[in-house]
Structure 1
């Protein structure tokens, strides 16, 4: 086949060997669906976690090629709500030999539109979309196409004007991270500018991002997934979803943290393991959950609905979680020299909130993702950091 530019067109089916950052993949109607949890963990997950893990934050196509243009056919699934402005179209970021080169937006696909008043969801089916990157330099190069971090994506084919070859993993250390929607990338500008992607680039590591929107709940299935996943460095960011989900009290929280860390340690007994306490979220610092959506001014924001007086009875706030995590990690570190603690307020704290307030009162904006990524990268991967190369 000849491309419109006059050169050959090579069509390559997308197979698991071309994916990085996904822990599983299954065949769908039009192509390959990447998953960030294996099938066994998905079977034990609730609807929210299954949805979040299907959104390929940190997942990218990785291959070597001499192509001067690249096209990717994919069908996305987006979520929207009647009366609420839709999220911007998902972005595909192109990285060549480690450098960001270009960006394109996705289109078409399946839209799930929910009426918040009735709970009824309408499914709107559109065509498979195509993203195209042209004008690339000739010659062999390592190409990474980062997938949209908040759109479930089914990948069909890659078209190029030169052959594509899978790049075997193993050239860089692997960083395995688990967290909430902030780690997945809510309000980040693009897949390479979530705070974890920025930190991974700063540290020169391969990212496996288990940041799940609304789903950092100390699930045992996630802990077992982390236990079984090869990694050189591991981190866990704990707190916000436990508060805004109002899922447990302090009596359950403490053993749940121990159990989660014990399970991870079963597979990574001496791997550097960093526990990160919550970043600042003023609505939940001293007020328990549950959190709730607030459309009071026509914009979706969040509010805390709990009673601060219930903290004495064990209801969780971000402040009490930080205190307890600090105690837990400090005590465990006495027998675990590879266990480390990072105060989330050093990534985003009170002084930062004045300059970078949370737009929806819960998630950082794009500039704050960059700030957090730079700070974490310098702390964790910099000289003397817990993830620094020995």
Structure 2
């Protein structure tokens, strides 16, 4: 077999808002450089560099593809080892293969002290073979939870950037649940599944731990071309205990105002939190349960006091009520603004059937359920239905 090496360039990628040229290749980012410069939080730097929803999109007759990458793998002290990130191959939209890359850098995180140690490692290769020898669109979805530096792309036939598929672009922002925590792979995080079922092209700004109504995120969304927009607001504000109700209400208005500066009539959906029993009526912050860590498990607990709601501390119940009120108020002058109660995606019956393994995050089966529900409630019947129909 004769390999053809194709230079890695930004026009081969979808779902990234910025691409950094490194000493060895390309590093996709989901926030632009100017936004990253406005926040020094290591958590944000980590999650925005994890390529959730980012994929290589190629047009080729190749039957074999190799991709060299340098991943950054996370290790949590005292917790079970995390599986290697998955690369998933789609041929003309159909799942065709999956693989992982060994090696790479390692980030060791001690959740009891809040410290992290970075160790460099060698790149590795993921390989896909046996593809049909026809003209086709090949997508390689990068691991949603593993920072991935792209080093080299090799194929046994020439490649070019895949043409624009002509589907509506859906821009979504949310927390680690939207980012894809505990999903089975990058194409089955709930936003990716909902996008496929709804016939949309996803740009995923699900930022684990970092859906905090940051103004730079709103400005990023304002400046990003999109046909459909959604924002899922709530759980991280409770997790981090960053504001009270007095600050929350104007912050939501400001976030929506900024998005509307760039997208005045685009369908815009505000989604409140899915069910999370530990924070329904108990404020944050959230913290790891150290007793579970000692048993090799990772579970979270609510550290607030329900009585603190009287002083304006946020719970998921408080946030849902206020988001509903805000959207009702604004929609009188904004007919393209919509609201969805997150418990319609995952509520009490779902929790009884598919409980949150760590008390915060849905598992792979729940991601699938949430994605299918979103596609039905939003793309088929709700806020995005007219746009989805117009694109077919």
What TM-score bracket applies, with the shorter chain setting the length? over 0.9
For the 8 Å contact 2:269–2:383, the answer to whether it is kept is: no
1:26 corresponding residue in structure 2: 20
Q: Secondary structure at 2:265's aligned position in 1?
A: coil
List alignment gaps of at least 5 residues for structure 1. 1-6
Aligned pair partner of 2:176 in 166, 175, 181: 181
Q: Secondary structure at 2:148's aligned position in 1?
A: strand
Q: Secondary structure at 1:191's aligned position in 2?
A: coil
| 1:279-290 matches, cutoff 5 A | 279-290=274-285
Distance in 2, Cα, partners of 1:189 & 1:384: 27
Please report how far the alpha carbon of residue 8 of structure 1 lies from its aligned counterpart in structure 2 after TM superposition.
1.8
2:355 corresponding residue in structure 1: 357
Aligned pair partner of 1:91 in 86, 89, 96: 86
For the 8 Å contact 1:76–1:109, the answer to whether it is kept is: yes
Distance in 1, Cα, partners of 2:76 & 2:63: 39
List alignment gaps of at least 5 residues for structure 2. none
Aligned pair partner of 2:239 in 236, 244, 247: 244
Please report how far the alpha carbon of residue 231 of structure 1 lies from its aligned counterpart in structure 2 after TM superposition.
0.1
Please report how far the alpha carbon of residue 126 of structure 1 lies from its aligned counterpart in structure 2 after TM superposition.
2.0
For the 8 Å contact 1:30–1:75, the answer to whether it is kept is: no
For the 8 Å contact 1:340–1:386, the answer to whether it is kept is: no
Matched, 1:257 2:252: yes
Change in CA separation of 1:289 and 1:133 when aligned onto 2, cut-off 3 Å = same
| TM-score scaled by length of structure 1 | 0.96
2:334 corresponding residue in structure 1: 336
Distance in 2, Cα, partners of 1:98 & 1:92: 15
| 1:68-217 matches, cutoff 5 A | 68-116=63-111, 120-169=115-164, 171-217=166-212
| TM-score scaled by length of structure 2 | 0.96
Please report how far the alpha carbon of residue 30 of structure 1 lies from its aligned counterpart in structure 2 after TM superposition.
1.6
For the 8 Å contact 2:111–2:288, the answer to whether it is kept is: no
Please report how far the alpha carbon of residue 220 of structure 1 lies from its aligned counterpart in structure 2 after TM superposition.
0.2
For the 8 Å contact 1:250–1:316, the answer to whether it is kept is: yes
Q: Greater shift after overlay, 188-197 or 121-130?
A: 121-130
Compute the RMSD of aligned alpha carbons.
Answer: 1.2
Distance in 2, Cα, partners of 1:326 & 1:39: 33
Q: Secondary structure at 2:238's aligned position in 1?
A: helix
Change in CA separation of 1:121 and 1:215 when aligned onto 2, cut-off 3 Å = closer
Q: Deviations over 1:328-376 (max 9, x none)?
A: 0011001100000011000000011011000000000000000000000
